[in-house]
A and B are shown apart, each in its own frame.
Chain A
Amino acid sequence: MVKTIKYCVISFGALLLLWQILVTVADISPALFPPPTKVVAAFGELLKHGLKGSSSDVALMGHIGISMARFLTGYILAVVTAILAGLILGCLPRAFAYVNPVIQLIRPIAPVAWMPFIVLWFGIGDVPAVVIIFIAGFFPVLLSTVAAVQNVDVTYRKVAQNFGLSKMETVRKIIFPAAFTQIIHSLRLALGTSWIFLVSGEMVGAQSGLGFLVMDAKNCMRPDALLAVMITIGIIGFLLDTCIRLLEGVVKCI
């Protein structure tokens, strides 16, 4: 843990230093690529009262809160429905054989491609971002749950049969826990992708949130603020991943 923190501090410190040196030595115009100092200043401005000239008067923390709420709603909905659907389809291999081609067809479509429809059906606001996150998180969790269920050791199934467990009991007591270590790994992957797509979702369909701030900084022609928002997105993604990794570690110990 201490080591990890050390690596992070040194790595980020070196990046900052390199950035500052490059900007100074190459004498890059701040309009093209702002130096760290300006970005820190923009960060302060965002934190205090939001960007000057912005169409929103919410400060950074407010936007983060809004984004997190959308993210958690979409992600949790995606995870719950995907695991339930995955457990059902995993137990019905024949049904899955018919559903799978459709899933494979939809899965490679970037979630944002649905945006025009989503905006048409749900308007703008919170819903488009939530739907985008849902689409981004749903398929990886669904497919890995199905695979995990199908991979459950046949001995477990025989044991369940032998002791006369009902279908529901078998799923609850045997299949789900046996599949869970594989599922939790996909939850982590889905968390990463969902976070990436939150920003895309908010860039188009929202008037608040981190994705909106990206567009806002662009419209105000503030590259320093843009970088500050980008870094914020990166840091939160990193923290989310760390949280779920810790959770994964706890689960593996059981």
Chain B
Amino acid sequence: MYIEVKEVEVQYTEKKEQVDVLKNISLTIEQGEFICLLGPSGCGKSTLLGAMAGFLTPTKGTVYIKGKPVERPCAEYVTIFQNYGLLPWRTVEKNVELGLERMIKSREDRARIAMKYIDLVGLSGSEKKHPGQLSGGMQQRVAIARALAVEPEILFMDEPFGALDAITRMKLQDDLLNICHETKKTVIFVTHDIDEATFLADRIVVMSADPGEIKNIVNISMPKNRDRTSSNFLRARDKIFDIFHMKKPDTVEYYI
């Protein structure tokens, strides 16, 4: 077991009322897996990701990474956010170097590593630009390069392509899969887009809201380099749709 989420619960007190955001979440992830957390907005995907990445401590339960309980964020597992979190006053190159500044003292070494990852995400030539001069897709590429530069074992991604147009998004999905395959990362990827999850994931963790729970875990056994228009792909995608539609009888019952 590489990552183990064990009986995690998260509660917030709002207006003196306890709200269960995550309830009884248990999940194990193996090294090298690409996991998608899929569910409607507000079901607690970001909260679960935050607990795994060490940004928040669960009310109950523990997350273990390689057997050790997660207590705080560290550079071995880097989070990539929907709004990039790039520093607008730094160039692309200097943004990518941010995480390296603590580890590598030599300027030349830093610059060399940064260039390697800028190249890997397909941005060579833009290293002297500022984030404001780049499109959203390119900015997210910079954020990915910055994360990869510190050579983390795990990437946590919170709706990283949520703000991008459909075509840019698919291109980034393709490139992300290739990069993760090449660099052998374990990825936990939050999305509310069924197509995206079906295209990327080895396993999809389907979540439901109020309280946030794991509803189902779906294995996608298709090999990578999936063809988004193939019948296999569409069948897999339909299966996920079904899981969400299973809610219907529940709600009908509720109204009776």
Contact = CB atoms under 8 A, between A and B. Distances in A.
B87 A177 contact: yes
B85 A156 contact: yes
B102 A174 contact: no
B87 A162 contact: no
Interface string A122-160: 000000000000000000000000000000010110110
Interface in A168-195: 169, 173-174, 177-178, 180
Nearest to A155: B85
A159 B75 contact: no
B233 interface: no
Secondary structure call for the B interface:
loop
Secondary structure call for the A interface:
helix
B87 A178 contact: yes
B102 A159 contact: no
Contacts of B55: 158, 161
A163 B87 contact: no
Contacts of A156: 85, 87
B81 interface: yes
Interface in B71-109: 72-75, 78-79, 81, 83-85, 87, 89, 98-99, 101-102
B43 interface: no
A155 B81 contact: yes
Interface of B: 53, 55, 72-75, 78-79, 81, 83-85, 87, 89, 98-99, 101-102, 130, 150
Interface of A: 153, 155-156, 158-159, 161-165, 169, 173-174, 177-178, 180, 254
- Report the 3 A-B pairs with minimum CB-CB distance, sorted nearest first: A155-B85, A163-B99, A162-B73
